[in-house]
Amino acid sequence: MQMAITFMAVVAGLIFSIAVALLAEELIFGQVFRLLFGRSAITSPQQLKPSSTSAAFHRAEALRHPNRL
Give the global pTM.
Answer: 0.46
Q: How many domains does the chain have?
A: 1
Query: Residue 32 falls within a domain, yes or no?
Result: yes
43 has a pLDDT exceeding 70 = no
Query: Cα 61 vs. chain centroid, distance in angstroms?
Result: 25
Cβ partners under 8 Å of residue 57, min gap 6: 50
Query: Residue 69 falls within a domain, yes or no?
Result: no
Query: Residue 23 falls within a domain, yes or no?
Result: yes
Query: How high does pLDDT run on average in the chain?
Result: 77
Residue range(s) defining the domain that contains residue 57: 2-64
Cα–Cα distance for residue pair 23/10, rounded to 1 Å: 20
Cα–Cα distance for residue pair 55/51, rounded to 1 Å: 9
Query: Residue 18 falls within a domain, yes or no?
Result: yes
18 has a pLDDT exceeding 90 = yes
